[in-house]
């Protein structure tokens, strides 16, 4: 009974230790992954039925959709069978490595040994030269030439008075494959930690508002942060006068226990981090209900400057004059058509403009659009300047909120992977033997060498060594 | 100036392609040298074009399909010189230059504007991530070219058609070796490109992996090459099988590179 159990475990072990399983898994993961790039993931059914109609025809599409939906293809990378494939892949990777590691470890620990000059095995790189000097006189030259290739040669005397120099390097590079395997496991562990202990959410925060929760991406439920965060301002900067965005910026303030603890301006590539949570600039938008504040910097003809904050319909006086401006209209993105009419070309604040009517002692004086992005529209006919700073409180910043305690293991895995790949692909295990034995006309030098990678490259180096020896000695 | 340099490079690559095709029928030291001279001049002009675009735009010129396609062919030519220098592969130019020319031609018909960087791309990971990816893809392109040469040579051997083309192509063994060498250059580069891309996505978007089509396709490509390496080292898939696999792998690279940008969507379509 005990034997039978053991053989089952053994068989299971052998199953997971096989490279065949690995190759089957590589193929399965690659092939099934393709489907998820054709079917849009987590999309509305209508979208994918349209795609399927094109692929399988009008009649079959709804049925095919239902079958694919049941099999989890609409969110396939999180489906039970794809996760199973990944788990099998991880087990295969671990057991394959464990199966081979002890053998490789013993090979690595084994020091390089001198060869038996009577019975030299067939080495892929073998050269012979004869030198008209005794073995002892060329010893130093030989040692130096081997050192030049980066080896530290050891010496073993031969019976006939000759000697043998032998060395190896890159011995540890044979671990590169296993270090790379380990790094993949580390990354997977980090990802699993992130899935189980992390938080993935969002927070749409209007200018001027504070929140002490973020909302989960999964079910939109509020998730308490343990601190609160306020959006002081949001702004899009454009390249020149174009509509190509250059920068999305949010000015955020963090409060903990009622006290302000952090202030930061975030951009797409520079998030805010606080107590394990990271806030990324992810999107933005206009509030449908929002009534904001127009902020102007007004400079009268006398040079006196004032910052003025008003809402729609309110009025202000230009300092040092009797001129009163009244805010009449606002456009988030003003454009002028060819026949001179103004219209709004976008819903976002691409080109904010405000229409102001100026009166002096109750009589209309002038009126027109003042645009935030065009300084020439700030100047009034009488020389005063009404700079449109911002229409504040009408936008929200869309923040991606993440907490991922596994990310450091993933990063560590990435570093380990880089080391493993370098060892596995750019380092090789090289061994070299130089057997110098007495011959009739001097010394017979036999050079034998192997490399487990890029043998041609190593052979060229050995050839250079031979030609150098021929020249120098 | 930018355009003139591009057109001149395209012209020289075209001339090199013609010489390369002629070489398949009759070659001599002179034609091989001529091909190299044309390719080197084309490459110099091409480099000048890329450097100029770099200074005008202030960033690596790979932000639209015209630039990406052009930069990809630049990487292939660079690698071609390296392989030629290291291994002296006969007739390699005849197989590489037409591919380079085709990429340049497809680049030439795409819009050429130099656009400033969108906020997402303003990161130092941008250059690191894309350079690794482009060089890795170029190595895979070369491996596929060598694989094609292998299949051709194998065809000659099988048919016992040991004509002049057979004589001038490298031996099956050395083609197989170079093929493997190129894949073992491309694979770590692709892996590091994926890794740096993930780290970048983590710092910019708050998620190191989101199964976006480009990510998924690069993972598919990665698994294909993982397959190639393990099949070779553990199951002895060399020679013909390896040659076919390197071509399949490159088709996946091409789809990841062009297909995903043109057909599928995702945040890498920022490149368009």
Q: Which pLDDT tens digit goes with each residue over A160-203?
A: 788 999 999 999 999 999 999 999 999 999 999 999 999 999 99
pLDDT for position B29: 82
pLDDT for position B184: 93
Q: Give B188→chain A minimum CA distance, Å.
A: 6
B203 to A77: CB separation less than 8 angstroms, yes or no = no
B181 to A454: CB separation less than 8 angstroms, yes or no = yes
Query: In this prediction, does ipTM exceed 0.85?
Result: yes
Q: How far apart are the first and last CA of chain B?
A: 23
Please give the residue of chain A at the shortest CA–CA distance from B231: A23
The helix (H) or strand (E) run that includes residue B19 is helix B2-25
Residues 152-211 of A with CB under 8 A from B: 191, 200
Q: With an 8 Å Cβ cutoff, is A36 touching chain B?
A: yes
Residue A443 phi, psi (nearest 5): -125, 135
Residues of chain B positioned with their CB less than 8 A from the CB of A268:
119-120, 122, 204
DSSP A229: E
* Sign, Cα dihedral of B73, B74, B75, B77: positive
Q: Which of A75, A124, A240, A269 to mutate to test the interface with B (most CBs of B within 10 A)?
A: A269
A244 to B115: CB separation less than 8 angstroms, yes or no = yes
Q: Which pLDDT tens digit goes with each residue over B180-228?
A: 999 999 999 999 999 999 999 999 988 899 888 899 999 999 999 999 9
Average pLDDT on B29-52 reads: 93
Mean residue pLDDT of chain A comes to 91
Residue B63 phi, psi (nearest 5): -100, 0
* Chain centroid, CA A18 distance in Å: 32
A400 to B207: CB separation less than 8 angstroms, yes or no = yes
Q: Give A104→chain B minimum CA distance, Å.
A: 15
* Fold agreement (A111-170+429-472, A193-288+396-417): no
Please tell me the CATH superfamily of domain A111-170+429-472, with its number: Sirohaem synthase, central domain (3.30.160.110)
A20 to B217: CB separation less than 8 angstroms, yes or no = no
Residues of chain B positioned with their CB less than 8 A from the CB of A23:
227, 230-231, 235
Q: Which of A425, A427, A456, A459 to mutate to test the interface with B (most CBs of B within 10 A)?
A: A425
Q: Give B69→chain A minimum CA distance, Å.
A: 23
Confidence band, pLDDT 50/70/90 cuts, at residue B265: low
Q: Give A280→chain B minimum CA distance, Å.
A: 6
A30 to B206: CB separation less than 8 angstroms, yes or no = no
C-alpha distances (whole Å) from A63 to each of A39, A42, A58, A60, A68 are 15, 18, 10, 6, 9
Cβ atoms of residues B60 and B131 within 8 Å: yes
Q: Which pLDDT tens digit goes with each residue over A330-342?
A: 999 999 888 888 9
pLDDT for position B71: 95
pLDDT for position A247: 92
Report d(CA B16, CA A277) in Å as an integer. Answer: 56
Mean residue pLDDT of chain B comes to 90
A271 to B188: CB separation less than 8 angstroms, yes or no = no
Average pLDDT on A350-363 reads: 92
Instruction: Look up tokens 């960087």; give the residue.
Output: B117
Confidence band, pLDDT 50/70/90 cuts, at residue A282: very high
Domain spans, chain A: 2-108, 111-170+429-472, 193-288+396-417, 293-392
Apex CA A195: angle with CA A193 and CA A196, to 5°?
A: 65
Residues of chain A positioned with their CB less than 8 A from the CB of B181:
454
Report d(CA A88, CA A75) in Å as an integer. Answer: 20
Q: With an 8 Å Cβ cutoff, is A120 touching chain B?
A: no
User: Residue A226 contacts by C-beta under 8 Å, 6 or more apart in sequence?
Assistant: A212, A256, A275
Tell me the CATH number of domain A193-288+396-417, given options 2.60.98, 1.10.1060, 3.40.50, 1.10.3470: 2.60.98
Give the number of A-B residue pairs with CB atoms closer than 8 Å.
Answer: 107
Q: Which pLDDT tens digit goes with each residue over A429-448?
A: 999 999 998 888 888 899 99
Q: Give A453→chain B minimum CA distance, Å.
A: 9
Q: Which pLDDT tens digit goes with each residue over A35-83?
A: 888 888 888 888 888 888 888 888 888 888 999 899 998 989 999 999 9
Structure tokens at A368: 């027109």
Report d(CA B203, CA A268) in Å as an integer. Answer: 8
Residues of chain A positioned with their CB less than 8 A from the CB of B203:
269-271
Average pLDDT on B94-113 reads: 91
Q: Give A239→chain B minimum CA distance, Å.
A: 8
Confidence band, pLDDT 50/70/90 cuts, at residue A134: confident
Residues 240-259 of A with CB under 8 A from B: 244-248
C-alpha distances (whole Å) from B47 to each of B61, B64, B74, B82, B138 are 11, 17, 8, 16, 16
Q: Which pLDDT tens digit goes with each residue over B236-253?
A: 888 899 999 999 999 999
Apex CA A238: angle with CA A237 and CA A242, to 5°?
A: 160
Report chain B's C-alpha Rg in angstroms.
19
Average pLDDT on B128-151 reads: 95
Q: Is residue B70 pLDDT above 90, yes or no? A: yes
* Sign, Cα dihedral of B108, B85, B243, B21: positive
Nearest to A36 among B177, B203, B216 (CB): B216
Structure tokens at A225: 């942060």
User: Residue A2 contacts by C-beta under 8 Å, 6 or more apart in sequence?
Assistant: none
Nearest to B119 among A248, A278, A422 (CB): A248
pLDDT for position A131: 86
pLDDT for position B272: 34
Report d(CA A36, CA A73) in Å as an integer. Answer: 7
Please give the residue of chain A at the shortest CA–CA distance from B174: A456
Confidence band, pLDDT 50/70/90 cuts, at residue A141: confident
DSSP conformation letters of A113-167: ----TTS----SEEEEEEESS-HHHHHHHHHHHHHHTT---EEEE-TTS-EEEEE
Q: With an 8 Å Cβ cutoff, is A456 touching chain B?
A: yes
């Amino acid at each position: 009974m005990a034997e039978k159990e053991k053989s089952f475990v053994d068989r299971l072990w052998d199953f997971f230790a096989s490279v065949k399983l690995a190759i089957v898994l590589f193929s399965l993961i690659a092939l099934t992954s393709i489907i998820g790039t054709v079917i849009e993931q987590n999309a509305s059914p209508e979208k994918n039925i349209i795609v399927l109609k094109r692929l399988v025809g009008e009649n079959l599409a709804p049925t095919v959709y239902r079958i694919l939906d049941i099999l989890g293809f609409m969110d396939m990378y999180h489906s039970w069978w794809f996760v199973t494939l990944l788990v099998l892949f991880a087990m295969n990777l671990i057991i394959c490595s464990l199966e081979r590691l002890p053998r490789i470890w013993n090979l690595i620990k084994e020091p390089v040994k001198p060869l038996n000059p009577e019975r030299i095995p067939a080495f892929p790189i073998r050269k012979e030269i004869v030198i008209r000097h005794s073995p002892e006189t060329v010893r130093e030259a030989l040692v130096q030439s081997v050192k030049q290739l980066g080896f530290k040669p050891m010496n073993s005397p031969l019976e006939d008075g000759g000697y043998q120099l032998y060395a190896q390097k890159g011995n540890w590079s044979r671990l590169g494959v296993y270090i790379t395997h380990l790094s993949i496991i580390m990354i997977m562990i980090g990802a699993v930690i992130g899935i189980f202990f992390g938080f993935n959410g969002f927070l749409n925060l209007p200018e001027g508002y504070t929140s002490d929760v973020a909302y989960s991406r999964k079910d939109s439920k509020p998730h308490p942060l343990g601190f609160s965060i306020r959006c002081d301002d949001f702004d899009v900067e454009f390249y020149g006068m174009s509509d190509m965005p250059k920068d999305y910026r949010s000015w955020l303030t963090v409060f903990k226990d009622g006290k302000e603890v952090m202030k930061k301006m975030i951009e797409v590539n520079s998030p805010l981090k606080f107590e394990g949570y990271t806030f990324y600039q992810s999107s933005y938008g206009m509030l449908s209900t929002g009534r904001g504040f127009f902020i102007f910097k007004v400079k009268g003809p006398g040079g006196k400057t004032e910052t003025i904050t008003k809402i729609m319909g309110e009025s202000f006086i230009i300092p040092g004059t009797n001129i009163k401006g009244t805010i009449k209209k606002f456009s988030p993105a003003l454009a002028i058509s060819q026949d001179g009419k103004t219209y709004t070309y976008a819903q976002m604040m691409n080109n904010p403009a405000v229409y102001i009517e100026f009166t002096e002692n109750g009589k209309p004086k002038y009126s027109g659009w003042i645009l935030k992005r065009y300084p020439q529209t700030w100047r009034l006919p009488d020389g005063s300047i009404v700079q449109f700073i911002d229409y504040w409180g009408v936008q929200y910043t869309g923040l991606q909120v993440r907490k991922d305690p596994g990310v450091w293991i993933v990063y560590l895995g990435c570093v380990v992977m880089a080391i493993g790949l370098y060892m596995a692909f750019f380092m090789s295990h090289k061994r070299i033997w130089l057997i110098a034995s007495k011959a009739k006309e001097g010394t017979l030098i036999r050079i034998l060498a192997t490399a487990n990678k890029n043998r041609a490259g190593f052979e060229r180096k050995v050839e250079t060594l031979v030609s150098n020896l021929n020249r120098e000695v | 100036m930018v355009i003139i340099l591009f057109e001149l490079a395209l012209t020289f690559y075209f001339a090199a392609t013609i010489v390369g095709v002629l070489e398949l029928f009759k070659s001599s030291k002179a034609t091989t040298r001529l091909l190299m001279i044309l390719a080197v001049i084309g490459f110099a002009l091409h480099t000048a074009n890329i450097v100029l675009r770099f200074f005008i735009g202030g960033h690596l010129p790979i932000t639209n399909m015209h630039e990406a396609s052009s930069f990809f062919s630049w990487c292939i030519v660079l690698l071609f010189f390296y392989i030629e220098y290291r291994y002296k592969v006969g007739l390699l130019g005849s197989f590489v230059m037409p591919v380079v020319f085709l990429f340049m031609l497809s680049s030439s018909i795409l819009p050429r504007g130099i656009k400033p960087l969108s906020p997402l791309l303003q990161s130092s990971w941008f250059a690191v991530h894309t350079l690794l990816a482009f060089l890795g893809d170029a190595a895979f392109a070369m491996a596929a070219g060598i694989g094609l040469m292998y299949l051709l040579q194998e065809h000659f051997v099988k048919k016992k058609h040991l004509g002049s083309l057979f004589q001038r192509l490298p031996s099956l063994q050395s083609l197989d070796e170079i093929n493997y060498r190129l894949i073992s250059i491309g694979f770590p580069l692709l892996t590091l490109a994926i890794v740096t891309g993930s780290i970048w996505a983590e710092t910019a978007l708050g998620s190191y992996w989101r199964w976006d089509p480009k990510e998924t396709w690069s993972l598919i490509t990665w698994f294909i090459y993982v397959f190639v390496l393990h099949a070779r080292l553990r199951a002895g898939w060399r020679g013909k099988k390896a040659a076919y696999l390197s071509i399949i792998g490159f088709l996946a690279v091409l789809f990841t590179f062009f297909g995903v940008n043109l057909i599928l969507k995702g945040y890498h379509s920022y490149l368009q």
